[in-house]
Each structure stands twice: as C-alpha cells, then as structure tokens.
Chains A and B, each alone.
Chain A
Amino acid sequence: MKKGRLPLAATLLVLVFFYLPIIILVVNSFNAARFSSSWQGFTLEWYAKLFHSPEIWLSVRNTLVIALGSTAVSLVLGTAAAFALHRYAGSRLQQAHYTLIYTPLVVPEILMGISLLMAFVAAGTGLGLFTIFLAHVTFCVSYVAMVVLARLQDFDFQLIEAAQDLGASWWQSTRKVLLPLLLPGLAAGGLLAFTLSVDDFVITFFVAGPGSTTLPLRIYSMIKYGNPPMINALSTLLLAVTLTAVIASQRLARLKR
C-alpha cells in the first residue's frame, strides 16, 4: 500500500518541532548577546562563567551522588521485583504487586512529590539529600522493574532447562546463562534510572531541603532569577553529555553482539 504524503509530512513537522528549540538553544549558548534576541558574536564567555561557579559544581556533585546511589538501589530492588512478577505471574500477590509498581509510572510527579513531602513532614524527618535519594529510588524502581520484566518475558527459559539438563545446578545456570543474557536489560534499566534521577525536578523540588540543591533545582532558580545565557551554556553541556552517553551505550550494545 502506498504511503500517503500525510504521514511523511506529519513526521517531518514533528521532527522539526522537536529540534528547533534545542538547536536555537545550542546556538545561543555561543551568542555574546545577553538577551539572545540577536546574534552578537561568538563567545565562550558563558561556559567559562559556568566552570567558575562553585554552586554549579556543588549541585553537579549532589546530582551525581544521588543518581548513582538511587540507580544502584533501584537496580537491585527493581530486578528482584521483575523476577517476582515474571516467575509468579498471575497470583493475587503479584497482581497487587504489579499495580503498586505501575503506580509511579502513571501518576503525575507533583502527586508523588507532595505525598512524599507530607510523609516526611508528618514523620518529622528533616528534608535533605537523603530524602531526595529515597524519593528517587521510589520512582526509579518501577522503571527498572518494567525494563527487566520485558527482558525476562522475552527470555527463552528453555535455555535454563538446557543448562540444567547438561548438569548445571540452579546457581550455575543462573551465573552462566541467565545473568549474561540478562545483562543488556539490566544495563538498560540502570541507564534509565540514572537518567531519570539526574533529570528529575518536580519530585526533588518538593522533598529537597535547604542546601541540598541538585542540578535541575539550580537550573530552575537560574531560570527564575538568573542569567539566561549561562543557562543556554549549561543546557548545551548537558545535552552533549547525554548524547555522548547514549551514543556510547549504543556502540557498546552493538559491540556485545
């Protein structure tokens, strides 16, 4: 069947729509003009300002610490959850389990943020990096669980039977067959969790305490009160870092084959 022009046109429109703001942003990060309404020469001034800003570095550090921590914990929890959901699929417990895991994926972030805030306030714990960490693990677990679950559902468990048939114990077949084949799924889940944690604003905004600023929080305050060109530069840097990470992981995935 011939593809009509409409789908192609729509796709092109959508792609232009997606990339236009990003391209403008990147271009303006090199723009010497303060208010980016016109081009006033190429400069790296804004990048330099970024590098010399201690608040930025502090927020970067906080962001990374929280992201690494929550990725690690959510990987463990999420993988265990995926195993449970897959192995005992259909039981009443798993149906409830699934609903619980599915919830953070569908509720607006503001609801999660505010309910966690209420919980922390009611419990009397102070707000700080630790509460951010707890919040991040909470939503990351669901994403990791879904990714790993999808991999498990695609996994041919007859391979495990074959390993056992050939003499492998439960542990041997897990170590030599299951884990190596599941590794790409775990890596994908981990990467997803990491990205979500680094990028999270709304939930972090509600459960952060004074002095526990992450990069998104700093960006927000810069947007409200600060220096537009520096935000452009910071955004471009973030974009470059993310793109490199994505390309690297794609290359890695291809290499593994």
Chain B
Amino acid sequence: MKRNKRRLQEWLISLPTLLWLSLFIVVPTVLVFAIAFRPANPYGGIGAGWTLETIRGLWTHGYLVIAWRTFWISAVTTVLCILLAVPTGYFIARASMKWQNRLLLLVIVPFWTSFLVRVFAWRSLLHPEGLIKQVLEGIGLASPQATLLYHPGAVVLVMVYTFLPFTILPIYAAAEKFDFRLVEAARDLGARPFQAFRKVFLPGIRRGLLTAVLVVFIPALGSYIIPDLVGGPASEMLGNKIAQRVFVDRNLPYAAALSAVLILAVLAPLIAVLVLQRKKGKADIIIGEAP
C-alpha cells in the first residue's frame, strides 16, 4: 500500500517535466526523422507523401565533404581545447582557495558575455585591417594580402575560444577531487615529473577528461554561427548547410535529413560511452552527479 502511494507521488511530481520535455524534445526529434522521408514542396516547406529521394540526395560529394570537414574541425578543436585545459585546470586546482575562486571567476566571466559578441570581436580582430593582422604585418609574419579570416583555421580558433571554458571546468572539478599525494607517492617511487603526470594524474582525472571531450566535440559538430561569421564558404559545416536549407532554399525535408545525420553523429559518441560504462560497471562517467 505504502509502495503504491509512493509511486503515485513520484509520477505526480515528475509529470510536468516529463510531459513538457516529451512534447518539446521527443516529439520534435521523431518529426525530424519523419520529415526526412518526405519530398520537398517546390513552393517551400514539406511536400506530401513519402520518399527516399531526400535521403539518397545526402550521398553526394558535396555533402560528404562537408561532413568530413565538420568532423575534422570538431576533432582538432577538441584536441586543442584539451591540450590547453589540462594544464590550466591543474594549475587552478593546485592554487590556494582564494585564488581558485578568483581564477574560476576569471575563466567564467567571458562566458557571461553574449556569445555573438565574442564571435564578432574575433571577426574584428581577424579582419584584414584588424589588430592582429597589423601586428603580424609589423613583425613580418604576414603579407598585406593574406587573410586570417574566412578559412578553417579561423573557425578552429574561435571554436577553441568558445569551448575552452567548458573544457576547463570539468577538468578543474576532477583535478580538485584528485588526491595529489598519489603523484607524490609516484615521485617517491622514482617516477619523473612527466611520467607521474601521465601515469597517475591523467588516469586520475579521466572522468573529467571524458566530460571535457564530450562537452566540446558534440556542440562543435553542430556549430553554425562560428563558421557562418568567420569561416566563409571554404569552411562550411553541417550546421551552415542545415540553416541554408531552411532559410535560403526553404527545403525542410533536406534540412531534416541533414539534421537526422547530425543527430546520429551526436548520438554515436554518447552511446559509445554508455556502452563502455555498462561494460565496466562504472557509473556516470559523463553524467557526473547522476542520481
């Protein structure tokens, strides 16, 4: 009797969010997959009937190039972010309490500014007549015709800029919980500093590392603004294509098909991690504080 009452209470209190999120996440996602199987309406929007044409249309050279580019830009961004975040997170975790709070605040504050604004700031900086170009010209590293903007490097730079705070935080959180005496023990047993770092510290924060990787790689796959504003046509990514199909071509089924691909691309690493979790029996590698 008590158990039923408890279950009823559980359902009641969970119901609002369950309903809302089912309605606004689950249903729309299913719709995206459904619409991918419909033809485009020549006047814009969704046509009638069902077809595989839209999906087949994905397998063209143009799309594959974009898919590949999306992948490698995201991968490079992820690697760079991790390379910068690990020493930074380590440094902050080893600082005194007072400094930890200050440094964390310093890391977070840019996040509080508008994302668009930050991308725009880089656009100005990287502009042919912008500051960085002037400095580089001054020290002879660039010619007046060179453009820093509108190519994949700029996209990677701004993506790293955007995602770095999100990478530093989970690594910091894991480093903070890490018992640094383990590294001391390793040194005591004869390990050189970098060895201790590689064999003891990095495995010790692997949960944070995994979270950091996911928190960059997956949003990076879906980037739209950054390639749009600083990337130019040579750096088009999946996100741009989707937006173009929606707003320029008014071709919703194509956009849906592309989105479905992106959804699968995003799900793949998540599912891989979940399977790894189950196998190893270790709970919440990504999820941190799962109930």
* A and B associate: yes
Give A residues with C-beta under 8 Å from B. 1, 3-4, 6-11, 13-15, 17-22, 24-25, 28, 35-37, 76-78, 80-81, 83-91, 93-94, 97-98, 100-104, 106-112, 114-119, 121-122, 134-135, 137-138, 141, 145, 149-150, 153, 195, 199, 201-202, 205-206, 215-216, 219-220, 223, 228, 231-232, 234-235, 238-239, 242-243, 246
B24 within 8 A of A: yes
Is A106 in contact with B214, judged by CB distance below 8 angstroms? yes
Give B residues with C-beta under 8 Å from A. 6, 10-11, 13-14, 16-18, 20-22, 24-29, 31-32, 35, 45-46, 84, 87-88, 90-92, 94, 103, 106-107, 109-110, 112-118, 120-125, 127, 129-131, 134, 161, 164-165, 168, 180, 183-184, 187, 193, 214-215, 218-219, 221-225, 229, 239, 242-243, 246, 252, 255-256, 259, 262-263, 266, 270, 286-287, 289-291
Is B25 in contact with A104, judged by CB distance below 8 angstroms? yes
Q: A7 contacts which chain B residues (CB < 8 A)?
A: 87-88, 90-91, 94
Q: A108-B219, A228-B124 are in contact. List 5 more A-B contacts (CB 8 A).
A: A15-B106, A18-B106, A24-B121, A108-B221, A118-B35
Partner of B266, one of A78, A111, A235, A243: A111
Partner of B116, one of A86, A87, A138, A219: A219
Is A108 in contact with B223, judged by CB distance below 8 angstroms? yes
Listed A/B pairs (15) with beta-carbon separation below 8 Å: A11-B87, A14-B88, A15-B106, A18-B106, A18-B110, A81-B16, A85-B291, A87-B10, A108-B221, A110-B239, A119-B31, A150-B289, A153-B291, A235-B120, A235-B121
Partner of B259, one of A115, A223, A242, A243: A115
Q: B239 contacts which chain A residues (CB < 8 A)?
A: 108, 110
Q: B222 contacts which chain A residues (CB < 8 A)?
A: 107-111
A137-B20 CB under 8 A given contacts A94-B291, A206-B246, A219-B116: yes
For B134, give the chain A residue with the smallest CB separation.
Answer: A37
Is B27 in contact with A102, judged by CB distance below 8 angstroms? no
A145-B17 CB under 8 A given contacts A100-B22, A108-B218: yes
Q: A14 contacts which chain B residues (CB < 8 A)?
A: 84, 88, 107, 164, 168
Measured CB to CB, the closest approach of chain B to A62, in angstroms, equals 15
A108-B84 CB under 8 A given contacts A80-B13, A94-B14: no
